[in-house]
Amino acid sequence: MDTEKSRRRVTRIAAFNGWSVAALGGVCVLTSLWWLSWPGILIGVAAVASGFMELTGRRRLTEGRPAARRWLAGSQVLLLTAILLYAGCQLASFDPHRILLELPPDLLEELKATFGAEQVEQLTGRVHRAIYVALMIASLIYQGGLCLYYALATRKLFSQPPLPPGDPYARASRSP
């Protein structure tokens, strides 16, 4: 893939991902404000910051600035760190009784009658752990992979010196 195609691909990915993360982070902040959830507010703010970091990296990439690499990869590191901290806090502070109190009383009684009170607590804990461990694994794969992609793609893009504007001979000598 030639350099210009690579640059366009990275900028498209960064634009889509940056706006998506910023928008989802904004929704997270708003809903967390409604429910007065400080962890939700913090992760939402981190997501919005990560999205804008990615968009800043995209802009720097289109301007041909090598600092784009740090901004693009750094946005993924920030988002991954926020997600892992959030999920870790949720795992560490889990209280099955608090979750069971949120269930409608008739559903809770039916579950206890079917499985027993102890089994319902254990099942609640297992489901809770499974959800947050899956979130952590998916984030490691996605954000980690995107960070690696940005680092490798931008290294390739900036490893060649920029071409002088309007020099057709420089372009012809670089083509395979």
pLDDT for the residue 53 = 98
State the alpha helices, DSSP H only, in the chain.
Answer: 3-35, 38-62, 68-92, 96-102, 105-115, 117-159, 168-174
Q: 3-class SS at 130?
A: helix
Residue 25 structural domain? 3-93+142-161
User: How does residue 168 score in pLDDT terms, banded at 50, 70 and 90?
Assistant: low
User: How does residue 172 score in pLDDT terms, banded at 50, 70 and 90?
Assistant: very low
Name the DSSP class of 103.
Answer: S
User: How does residue 98 score in pLDDT terms, banded at 50, 70 and 90?
Assistant: confident
* 67: in domain: yes
Q: In the structure encoding, which two tokens stand for residue 78, read together?
A: 């920030």
* 173: in domain: no
Please write the tens of the pLDDT for every residue from 20-39. 999 999 999 999 999 999 99
Q: In the structure encoding, which two tokens stand for residue 80, read together?
A: 């991954």
- Domain count within the chain: 1
* 128: in domain: no
* 119: in domain: no
Q: 3-class SS at 110?
A: helix
* 169: in domain: no
* 99: in domain: no
* 135: in domain: no
Buried residues in 20-39 as b, exposed as e (16+ CB within 10 A): ebbeebeebbeebeeeeeee
* 25: in domain: yes
Which of 96, 125, 98, 100 minimizes the C-alpha distance to 110? Answer: 100
